[in-house]
Structure 1
Amino acid sequence: MNQILAAFIFFTRLPFWKIKSVPDECFKHVVSYWSFSGWLTGGIMAICFWGVSQILPVSIAVIAALTVRLLITGALHEDGLADFFDGFGGGRDRESTLRIMKDSHIGTYGVLGLIIYYLLGYQLLSSINPSYTPFILLCCDSYCKFVCSHILWLLPYARKEEEESKAKVIYSRQNYKEETASAIGGLLPLVFMPHSFFITLPVPILVFIYIQHLLRKRLGGYTGDCCGASFLICELSMWFSIAIVSGLIR
């Protein structure tokens, strides 16, 4: 339970640290329990969407759901996505890419990346039957975090030392026990997903495989920013495929 609590503390701004203090060592394992934080963020998004959609248009409910996750996480993953686009857009080699990604200032590529991401996300979620949307928000969040947690299996950490990490922590690679826990966190919520959307499950896996190939080629590893960017891109790809399937089955 310490590792799950550490994941909630690390990946959200909610005051879970008041419940119980956890050893620093637990924060090296938070990616293994990342999918469980999806139960919280995805669940709150789902509840927010459902509640707002009862009194306001679906488009407003989508914006409210996306906004509430930003507030819960402190835009942690969005910061990674912006740095990812800045680094890969402006960097010419490994060293310059890592240097740009560590810079706290956002650049043109990061701004454009976030704008395009949210425009696509808003349009995709607004196009889906709203009776399905709460379940999609919950399932995509936790499932894509489970998929992207495998970045620790496939790649080494790209920077040289822990001090070079913005989070001041280097994640530990999962053991088989943690992999099982991650799978439970990512796959269990899928019982709430309409069966017609199961065909979309391979899409974020394929996108993730491409991203990790890109990271291996460009950086020779991953960073914390790459984890956040991978999650958001994979989740967007799943929303995209669900929107397509949803249009086909109408």
Structure 2
Amino acid sequence: MTWLWRQAQLLLCAVQFLTRIPTPSLTGFESDWITRATRYFSLVGQGVGAISAGAFLLGFHVWGAGVAAVLAIGLGLLITGAFHEDGLADTADGLGGGQTAQRRLEIMKDSRIGTYGVCALAIALGLKVAVLSTLSAQLGALALLAAHGVGRAASVVAMRTTPYAPSGEAGKWKPTPMGARTGEVIVALVIAAWPLLLLPAPAAGLGLALGAIAALALARTAVRLIGGHTGDVLGAVEQVFEVGFLLGLAALA
């Protein structure tokens, strides 16, 4: 397998894992491909963000910012199958509702959604819509492109810097012994960075700071309460980073 062909396979694996977009089937799939594909998670996120940005631009000029924001967020949910949002809800239920690490992990694996999960989803989705509604058409579109990329990159960083939770065999992702490698994290961060150059520097900087604070707080809480991350926690990290980034961006933009 040539290097270029392997990268194409890994990118396709990332698309299949993170979205519901129809793709050709993978041949010769190996158990560590999902972990090796983390280098392209931010690129796939940018693809989702670009499609959502298109919906935002169209909706903005036809119905206005409020409707455009709902359409953009809704289309993103359809493309990904609410993949990361599901992780946010499960994480909120588990960390908020359990009294022991084992019980918290059991709750996170339960497909049913509880009060904490509903509240977390309502707050996260509501904030995204509210923030996008305050932005211009161009800035809102660029914000979506950037937020989806940096959010996915944040989950890769969390995957690399926090341990896998004991007995946390979440269905979304099961790590390989090596986990995400430093080089893969760097590639994900570099890919995530380029849309930031299109945004006002102070606003982008504050967005990254608030996103990082939110993601770090969640990751540290997960380490304290369940011993590390699971696939659900990584999805939640992506979501809180997105929300924090958009809040910071809108505050100065």
| Deviations 1:142-201, CA, capped at 9 Å, x for gaps | 01221231112221211437xx33136325522233123212221122222233423312
Measured after TM superposition, the shift of residue 221 of structure 1 is: 0.9
Runs of 4+ in 1 over 6 A off after TM superposition: none
Q: TM-score, normalised by structure 2?
A: 0.89
Measured after TM superposition, the shift of residue 22 of structure 1 is: 5.7
Name the SS of the counterpart of 2:62 in structure 1.
coil
Q: Which residue of 2 aligns with 1:217?
A: 224
Distance 1:21 1:51 in 2: 38
Q: Which residue of 1 aligns with 2:119?
A: 112
Moved more, 6-15 or 185-194: 185-194
Name the SS of the counterpart of 2:137 in structure 1.
coil
Q: Which residue of 2 aligns with 1:88?
A: 95
Which of 17, 29, 32 does residue 23 from structure 1 map onto? 29
Contact 2:146/2:195 (CA < 8 Å) preserved in 1? yes
Which of 174, 181, 189 does residue 169 from structure 1 map onto? 174
Q: Which residue of 2 aligns with 1:178?
A: 184
Q: Which residue of 2 aligns with 1:189?
A: 195
Name the SS of the counterpart of 1:147 in structure 2.
helix
Contact 1:85/1:109 (CA < 8 Å) preserved in 2? yes
Q: TM-score, normalised by structure 1?
A: 0.90
**Are 2:210 and 1:203 equivalent residues in the alignment?**
yes
Which runs of 5 or more structure 1 residues have no equivalent in the other structure? none
Contact 1:159/1:223 (CA < 8 Å) preserved in 2? no
Measured after TM superposition, the shift of residue 40 of structure 1 is: 0.8
Moved more, 141-150 or 171-180: 171-180
Distance 1:94 1:212 in 2: 15
| Deviations 1:111-162, CA, capped at 9 Å, x for gaps | 122112222221111112333100010011101221231112221211437x
Which of 132, 137, 142 does residue 135 from structure 1 map onto? 142
Q: Which residue of 2 aligns with 1:228?
A: 235
Contact 1:132/1:194 (CA < 8 Å) preserved in 2? no
Which runs of 5 or more structure 2 residues have no equivalent in the other structure? 1-6
- Which amino acid is 1:198 matched to? A
- Which amino acid is 1:165 matched to? A
Q: Which residue of 1 aligns with 2:4?
A: none
Q: Which residue of 1 aligns with 2:50?
A: 43
Distance 1:160 1:32 in 2: 26
